[in-house]
Structure 1
Amino acid sequence: MERFDDIIIGAGHNGLTAAAYLARAGRRVLVLERADHVGGATVSATPFPGVPAHLSRYSYLVSLLPREIITDLDLDISLIRRRYSSYTPMPTDPTRGLLVDNADESATAESFRRITGDDTEFASWQWFYGRMGEIARRVFPTLIEPLRSREELRDLVAGATRPAGLDTSLAELWEMLTERPLGELIERYFADDVVRGVVATDALIGTFADLHDARLRQNICFLYHLIGGGTGDWDVPVGGMGAVSGALYEAAVAAGARIVTGARITGIDPADGTVEYARSAQAASSPSPLVEPADPAASRSSPLVEPAASAASSRVETTLRASMLYVACAPQSINDCLDVPLDVESDTAGAQLKINMLLNRLPALRDGSVLPDAAFSGTFHINESYGQLHAAWQQASIDKVPSVPPCEIYCHTLSDRSILGPELAGCHTLTLFGLQMPPAVFDAPSATSRAVEATLDSLNSVLAEPIQSVICTDAHGNPCLEAKTPQDLEAALGLPGGNIFHRSLQWPWAPDRDAVGQWGVETRHPRMLLAGAAARRGGGVSGIPGHNAAALVLEG
């Protein structure tokens, strides 16, 4: 039986992060991946036949990846900061809209004035996001440290541990953010329905909740979306998301990690570190792992990739043993292989409709005062006012496709054109993310086509021309458009209920006194750690769970 120091289950970006750290420390590391490529949800793909457009198929922006991980692993990753934060057409009058320009405060103030009539909301916006920036700068560095207690993190945020003393405004904001439903906070600081909606959307990305939900799931999602990098900025990865997982793959392989794709786990014994997996002869004889399938960095052959198996066998079964095991996939996907399942709740599902498009040009807006290049390069909010978000939640709660689906769009190619072939000059990608869309919405016959149609109608309500009129066609004459429901994400990526976070996001502090000083990756099995999004301080494209699982072992 072959033995390793570490066996990592899942070759998404978190599993690759853990592999790179562990292998660089001289440990013998094996990564097992069910798919025929590495990267998980952090991949680039060419979904449209005959069209050289390498889209970030699932995840698409980077905020939570700490600079320390990029530096530690010598990752060749470039991120582009977006000048425009967001553009939001008025749902009742799309000839006017709110444009938030990070480089021009006076222009942003004028845009607020144009839709609200005075300077009150802009002043509240500046104060609120200034305070949230302070929280981000203080909380984000703690995500790659051992867990602090709730009280310690509160004191860090409010300044009780610093010579200047308590910052009462931060203390009050932190208390509302972590103890009261987010809707109360938003309603306290903002009055305009559209502005409230722009603030609220960060609480509902992949999270199905009412803003007044007493469980505060929306609050936790909001916090993570606003603390990334210590600034809350969401950056564009040059080369697409495949460049991120490709760089991590290269780092892991260069350090000596061995990667096996097409490996289906059939048995795990956490007590002695035994792992059993099966691999079809076809998978075993395939070339090196690919990043779905368009990242050249990850397609180079490597002797550290599992060698070909005999074609005479229809299935290759292997048993291995390691000192430590790491779950970098959704825990629910391996629980059937465990006598005692991992104690990770799975009562929440995803809540999104993802639509990828390729356009021959950007569509014209009904708001003639804003250039499409500015509107689409940030986050373009569509029918996401506060009232519309609540109405969509109400309809989806009874398993109906919202009549006016709230959604948001961004255009990768306005920041980085490297993902398009030279023959696509002038073309642009659009990534649409629909909110308040849990799996049950898509269960009825034809529900997906109805949801896509309703979502495109929602988008068209703020455009001067139908989006369908500018969508490219592929080699077969079909529109360059693909939709991904929660069911699709579960089938393709093993995400339970299509939950992009694997489970409900967790507060970034220790859940109890006994967990203070732990890493948030521990499980009931001492030799098995969480190294994926289900870890405490998981979710998003961060590498944080992989870093923290490796840190526990290497520093412990």
Structure 2
Amino acid sequence: MKVYDAVVIGSGHNGLVAACYLAKAGKSVLVLEKSASLGGATTSVKAFKGVDAKLSRYSYLVSLLPDQIIKDLSLDFETIGRKVSSYTPYFDGERDNGLLINSDFDQESRDSLSELTESDDEAIAWENFYQSIKEFAEVVAPTMLEPVPTESQIKELVDPLTWVELVENTLAQSLNDNFFDDLVKGVVLTDGLIGTFTSADDHLANKCFIYHVIGNSSGQWRVPKGGMGVLVDQLLIRAKQLGVEIIANQEVGRITQGDKQLSIETVAGQSYEARIALANCAPKILEKITNFKAPPLRDGSQVKINMVLKELPKLKSGADPKVAFAGTFHVNESYFELEQAFAQASLGQIPDVIPSELYCHTLTDPTILNPDLIAAGYQSLTLFALHLPASLFDKYHDAVKAEVSKRILNGFSQYLERPIESYLAKDSDGHLCIEVKTPQELEKELGLPRGNIFHSDLEFPWKQDGDSRKWGVETNSERIFLAGAGALRGGGVSGIAGHNAAMAALETLERLA
């Protein structure tokens, strides 16, 4: 039987990145994917019958993917910047208005903050806060593809006050120290809550926040040209050029370690031999197929809604929809509303007001639509709702899903001239072009335990002094590595875990030769 240098379990983008790096180094690589389709969460699909729109069904924006990986693997993959960072509608007691923040913080952004707060202080605080984050990112981001630095090494390189605000203080404390407006604090806080069921008073929010603001040293969130599936397509092309073997419909059931190699057995009864294995799956999945002990798992806590619209919604504020929806559109995400939703969900209640945010891919990149849809004015819209843990859906999934969907859409519609449903396109069967994904559905479709998009709780992107992990991908077996979001510095569409697992694997293959 052929003995591969490496078997990669799972064909998500991290697994494919790892496979490409290993094959580029001359290693024989086999990728085993349990599903019929490849790419995991980084795929594009035509979600609605007869509607030629290739939606990024699961993952949708890119920030953490290092330019170095694109260059190393010669990938024809482009991301497009967004002029608008965010728009947050609000009612000031007399009229509807909105807070506009551009990606390059400019006078328009300052004026919008000053109009909201009736003071210039908040704009000055915003600029200072994010300048310190930029300097922090310029230190941390370049380390993501290197052996894991220690906390003390990173601490020595960053401004002491910034370290206190981002690492030692809770986000709650830092936000209250820097800002006074509840809506402004909420907009900043959202980066600490994506896919993370926690309060601003918990340091888990700090960890999530850091990952969302350091990408490529700028923290800007960019749109994948052609949709997220283009990244998978390019990785598959490169993998095949490099000689990687990929087999779909091969769910791994067991990994057994021998003296010099691993035996990988599938649920269907096939067997493969390899010197090392890279697990592009959640730690809880790896725990089931080998003697690895996964860390405790927190519920995934998001609901994802994909839509195709006949036209962009018109806003009560009168803002140009092409501006308001060009960045992240925040709905009911004030600091109070975010904390209240977390508190209610923690008690097992559906939040009265469900915070959410929306993204319009097609304003930045219309190429995911066919020319006829573009000409007709169609647009895509993605909604990501927070603080909806899997536990809420366990008992009466479909009924809770329906109620949650209703509250989310009503919350969004309160800022529109007409309910969002009236803007939705219809598929060829006459059904509205809207799909809703709960944590349970993400588990079923993607193998994400409890729908946790990060596979496990995020950690700070460094290690404690004395931690023996070199790359942050190690397990209790010297021949098995984590190559997914559950690795240290994993999470998001980044390829970082795949790169780092490949580096650790190459060092191990050389040492065990």
TM-score by length of 2: 0.96
Measured on the aligned residues, the alpha-carbon RMSD in Å equals: 1.3
2:511 corresponds to = none
> Structure 2: which amino acid aligns with 1:320?
Y
Question: Is 1:493 aligned to residue 480 of structure 2?
Answer: no
| C-alpha deviation, 1:457, in angstroms | 0.4
Whole-Å Cα distance in 2 between the matches of residues 186 and 65 of structure 1? 27
- Select 1:172's aligned residue among 137, 146, 161: 161
Q: 1:324-374 CA distances to partner (integer Å, 9 max, x unpaired)?
A: 111011121232222x2x232132111101000000000100111x21001
> Structure 2: which amino acid aligns with 1:491?
K
| C-alpha deviation, 1:444, in angstroms | 4.1
Whole-Å Cα distance in 1 between the matches of residues 305 and 103 of structure 2? 27
| C-alpha deviation, 1:2, in angstroms | 2.4
Show the 5 A alignment for 1:13-412.
13-90=13-90, 95-103=96-104, 105-157=106-158, 170-213=159-202, 216-271=203-258, 272-279=261-268, 317-338=269-290, 340=291, 342-368=292-318, 370-412=319-361
Q: Residue 503 of structure 1: SS of its match in structure 2?
A: coil
Whole-Å Cα distance in 2 between the matches of residues 410 and 423 of structure 1? 22
| C-alpha deviation, 1:103, in angstroms | 4.8
> Structure 1: which amino acid aligns with 2:99?
L
> Structure 2: which amino acid aligns with 1:60?
Y
> Structure 2: which amino acid aligns with 1:373?
K
Whole-Å Cα distance in 1 between the matches of residues 320 and 257 of structure 2? 57
Show the 5 A alignment for 1:535-546.
535-546=487-498
> Structure 1: which amino acid aligns with 2:73?
L
Would the aligned equivalents of 1:328 and 1:530 in 2 still touch at CA under 8 Å?
Answer: yes
Whole-Å Cα distance in 2 between the matches of residues 92 and 408 of structure 1? 20
Q: Mark the CA change 1:234 to 1:104 in structure 2 (over 3 Å): closer, same or farther.
A: closer
Question: Is 1:439 aligned to residue 390 of structure 2?
Answer: yes
Would the aligned equivalents of 1:2 and 1:319 in 2 still touch at CA under 8 Å?
Answer: no
Whole-Å Cα distance in 2 between the matches of residues 530 and 337 of structure 1? 13
Would the aligned equivalents of 2:481 and 2:505 in 1 still touch at CA under 8 Å?
Answer: no
Q: Mark the CA change 1:218 to 1:103 in structure 2 (over 3 Å): closer, same or farther.
A: closer
> Structure 1: which amino acid aligns with 2:208?
C
Whole-Å Cα distance in 2 between the matches of residues 523 and 431 of structure 1? 36
> Structure 2: which amino acid aligns with 1:397?
S
Whole-Å Cα distance in 1 between the matches of residues 400 and 315 of structure 2? 29
| C-alpha deviation, 1:430, in angstroms | 0.3
Would the aligned equivalents of 2:283 and 2:295 in 1 still touch at CA under 8 Å?
Answer: no
Would the aligned equivalents of 2:283 and 2:456 in 1 still touch at CA under 8 Å?
Answer: no
Whole-Å Cα distance in 2 between the matches of residues 344 and 512 of structure 1? 22
- Select 1:471's aligned residue among 420, 424, 432: 424
Q: 1:170-191 CA distances to partner (integer Å, 9 max, x unpaired)?
A: 3112123212221001110000
| C-alpha deviation, 1:102, in angstroms | 3.0
| C-alpha deviation, 1:461, in angstroms | 1.1
Would the aligned equivalents of 1:270 and 1:528 in 2 still touch at CA under 8 Å?
Answer: no
| C-alpha deviation, 1:278, in angstroms | 4.0
Return 270-279 or 136-145, whichever deviates more. 270-279
Whole-Å Cα distance in 2 between the matches of residues 49 and 410 of structure 1? 22
| C-alpha deviation, 1:555, in angstroms | 4.4
Q: 1:56-107 CA distances to partner (integer Å, 9 max, x unpaired)?
A: 0000000000011000000010100000000001155561111012356111
Q: Residue 20 of structure 2: SS of its match in structure 1?
A: helix
Q: Residue 334 of structure 1: SS of its match in structure 2?
A: helix
Unaligned 5+ segments in structure 2 are 509-513
Q: Residue 30 of structure 2: SS of its match in structure 1?
A: strand
Question: Is 1:460 aligned to residue 413 of structure 2?
Answer: yes
> Structure 2: which amino acid aligns with 1:486?
P
- Select 1:505's aligned residue among 442, 458, 468: 458
Whole-Å Cα distance in 2 between the matches of residues 104 and 178 of structure 1? 24
Q: Residue 97 of structure 1: SS of its match in structure 2?
A: strand
Question: Is 1:481 aligned to residue 429 of structure 2?
Answer: no
Q: Mark the CA change 1:328 to 1:460 in structure 2 (over 3 Å): closer, same or farther.
A: same
Count of paired positions: 501
2:362 corresponds to = 413
Whole-Å Cα distance in 2 between the matches of residues 444 and 373 of structure 1? 40
Whole-Å Cα distance in 1 between the matches of residues 257 and 409 of structure 2? 48
- Select 1:554's aligned residue among 503, 506, 509: 506
Q: Residue 333 of structure 1: SS of its match in structure 2?
A: helix
| C-alpha deviation, 1:226, in angstroms | 0.4
Return 342-351 or 4-13, whichever deviates more. 342-351
| C-alpha deviation, 1:249, in angstroms | 1.3
Identity in percent: 45
> Structure 2: which amino acid aligns with 1:217?
L
Question: Is 1:428 aligned to residue 415 of structure 2?
Answer: no
Unaligned 5+ segments in structure 1 are 158-169, 280-316
Would the aligned equivalents of 2:252 and 2:267 in 1 still touch at CA under 8 Å?
Answer: yes
Would the aligned equivalents of 2:308 and 2:381 in 1 still touch at CA under 8 Å?
Answer: yes
2:486 corresponds to = 534
Q: Residue 394 of structure 1: SS of its match in structure 2?
A: helix
| C-alpha deviation, 1:109, in angstroms | 1.0
Q: 1:279-304 CA distances to partner (integer Å, 9 max, x unpaired)?
A: 5xxxxxxxxxxxxxxxxxxxxxxxxx
Whole-Å Cα distance in 2 between the matches of residues 359 and 117 of structure 1? 36
Q: Residue 144 of structure 2: SS of its match in structure 1?
A: helix
Whole-Å Cα distance in 2 between the matches of residues 102 and 506 of structure 1? 27
Q: Residue 199 of structure 1: SS of its match in structure 2?
A: helix
Q: Residue 241 of structure 2: SS of its match in structure 1?
A: helix
Q: 1:451-488 CA distances to partner (integer Å, 9 max, x unpaired)?
A: 00000000011112111111001111111000001001
> Structure 1: which amino acid aligns with 2:485?
A
> Structure 2: which amino acid aligns with 1:357?
M
| C-alpha deviation, 1:509, in angstroms | 0.9
| C-alpha deviation, 1:423, in angstroms | 2.2
